[in-house]
Amino acid sequence: MEKKYTQIAFVSFSESSKLYSFGTNDETLKVNDQVVVETVRGLEVGTIMKENQVFEDIPSDIEIKPVIRKATQKDLQDVEDNKIAAQAALKVCEEAVSAHGLDMHLIEAEYTLDRSKIIFVYVADDRVDFRELLKDLATKFKCRIELRQIGPRNKAKIVGGLGTCGMETCCSRFLNDFDVVSINMAKNQLLALNVQKLSGQCGKLMCCLKYEDAQYKEMREGLPKLNSQIEYKGNRYRVTSMNVLLKQAKIENKEDVQFLDFSELWPEIDWTKR
């Protein structure tokens, strides 16, 4: 018989600030309570991050996993014990990977709460045939094994570190999903196209290029492209650089170089609204 829930609990897990929804009928649950929930991976312990949302009756066509119970002291101790066991399991798996000669780099291992499953996270340049490795690991651990391949951005999120700004990397601090970041975003901000300087620890373009892209597009609206030819006081000039924050441009020709405000070069645009 299908279980009916009257409340949605919003739970996050230690590795992410993202909120996940679970069904419950327990009206005593409150913010910061630790709970045991059923996820697609198995049983896990998470933390309630906001007040439950109450429904008269959650629609039956919404598939939702349940909150099993409030976490007990034993559950919390099991979590700590599992972390220690997972580190030992990671070393065993690394030895097995080496023995099978597989080109894969293990990042972390994690047990579900009841140790019915262990997840090994790895990075690899290509697809890996790990069928024999799975058989070997299943024999050693006597539980379900999941080998999960991730990309370089997810690896950076797990490993963490400091960005070029001196702060903790955005991916490990608060990003839950990765947006597409293109070199055009650097062009919109008139940055030097040095891919090495524009790349994060993952080797991909830095996520922060995305944050101000819309604002730079708006500020550059109506402006010519760099190296465009313009006329100023009867002479032809080339636009060699622009600072859209200070609203200043550098124009030059063979005889002259000028540093001018946008309002002087393009008075038809209302710069007070930008």
Digit-coded pLDDT (tens) for 179-224? 889 999 998 888 888 888 898 888 889 999 998 899 888 888 888 8
Q: Which of 48, 45, 122, 49 is nearest to 83 (CA)?
A: 45
User: Which positions ≥6 away from 139 have C-beta within 8 Å?
Assistant: none
Mean pLDDT of 38-61: 81
| Residue 63 three-state SS | coil
* Residue 1 banded pLDDT, cuts 50, 70, 90: very low
Distance CA 169, CA 146 (A): 27
pLDDT, tens digit, 9 for 90 and up, residues 237-247: 999 999 988 89
Distance CA 115, CA 158 (A): 21
Q: State residue 178 phi and psi, 5-degree precision.
A: -105, 120
* Residue 56 banded pLDDT, cuts 50, 70, 90: low
| Dihedral (CA of 269, 270, 273, 274) sign | positive
Whole-prediction pTM: 0.71
Sheet of strand 117-123, all strands in order from the earlier edge strand to the far edge: 105-111, 117-123, 144-149
Burial status of residue 269 (CB atoms within 10 A of its CB: 0-12, 13-18, 19 or more): middle
Domains and CATH numbers, the chain: 7-71 (no CATH), 77-150 (3.30.300), 155-216 (no CATH), 229-273 (no CATH)
Mean pLDDT of 142-160: 87
